[in-house]
Amino acid sequence: MAEQLRLGVNIDHVATVRNARGGALPDPVRAAKLAEAAGADGITAHLREDRRHISDADIEALMETLTLPLNFEMAATDEMQAIALRHKPHAVCIVPERREERTTEGGLEVAREENRLAHFIAPLREAGCRVSIFIAADRAQVEAAHRIGAQVIELHTGAYCEAYADGDDAAQAAELSRLTDMAALAHSLGLEVHAGHGLTYGDVGPIAAIPEIRELNIGHFLIGEAIFVGLEVAIAEMRRIMREARG
């Protein structure tokens, strides 16, 4: 039987709305607490280089007030490494970052940067953070993530979700098959497997059913849905679909 599937709620876009107006509202920390009350297993926040949503003060406040584990998403830069080492969150997820992108568009190119990334994550591991690497469902990337000493990989589900949104059944099936195979490969190498990006009520089921996946990180859809039904209801519904898919 598949192990339990955790839900990490990404609160970045609460900060996006706050920053659209400036000031303090809506407060991402309040969203994190509500997510916790609604049954989230963790909170994810991405401190981008340009601070377009989550701020340094948000990370500080989350570290001070959260009882749930924080998954701190960051680019592989010296600045972010220093921030992570100061706060020592439960997990750090290393993501690629380009200033001009709207969101994290692809996975990290681990295979080509193995040496640098191995040195980059070593102090984070030594500080006690679980190191996760956000990658495409690609054999070379999974194997490289394993070789550099990451404990976790997060598989990028963006292409799968886009195929679902486009109604392209063949592309969706091909992406699902790639994700399924790479989750199995990563698991066989001893990596913990997470997945996320772009997931919605409509497409989360087949991903939740992949037995090796232990955690899904979901943000944009849940925060958007919360506008209509509230965050607690949105999270509860996502959990229900995940549970049913898991069987």
CB of 35 to ligand PXP, least distance (A): 13
Is 29 or 218 the residue whose CB approaches ligand PXP more closely? 218
Task: Using CB under 6 A, pick the residue from 87, 146, 187, 197 that binds ligand PXP.
Answer: 197
- Count Cβ atoms below 10 Å from residue 136 Cβ, excluding itself: 20
Helical ranges in the chain per DSSP H: 12-21, 28-37, 56-65, 78-87, 114-126, 139-147, 158-166, 169-188, 204-208, 220-229, 231-246
Q: Which of 53, 187, 197, 212 is catalytic?
A: 197
For the segment 24-83, give every residue that binds ligand PXP (CB under 6 A).
46, 73
**Residue 192 contacts ligand PXP per CB under 6 A:** no
CB of 25 to ligand PXP, least distance (A): 21
Nearest to 194 by CA among 128, 108, 135, 110: 135
- Count Cβ atoms below 10 Å from residue 225 Cβ, excluding itself: 18
Q: Which of 73, 175, 215, 225 is catalytic?
A: 73
**Residue 120 contacts ligand PXP per CB under 6 A:** no
**Residue 220 contacts ligand PXP per CB under 6 A:** yes
**Residue 141 contacts ligand PXP per CB under 6 A:** no
Contacts with ligand PXP, 153-182, as mask; x by CB under 6 A: -x----------------------------
For the segment 199-218, give every residue that binds ligand PXP (CB under 6 A).
199, 217-218
Identify whether 73 is a catalytic site residue.
yes
52: three-class secondary structure by DSSP: coil
CB of 201 to ligand PXP, least distance (A): 12
CB of 1 to ligand PXP, least distance (A): 26
DSSP 89-136: -SEEEE----TT-SS--S----GGGHHHHHHHHHHHHHTTPEEEEEE-
- Report the b/e string of 50-68 with b at 16+ CB within 10 A: eeebbbeebbeebeeebeb
The residues facing 216 across adjacent strands are: 7, 195
Q: What are phi and psi of 187, to 5 degrees?
A: -60, -40
Identify whether 244 is a catalytic site residue.
no
The residues that touch ligand PXP, with contacts defined as CB under 6 A, are: 10, 12, 46, 73, 93, 95, 103-104, 134, 154, 196-199, 217-221
Q: Which residues are catalytic?
A: 46, 73, 197
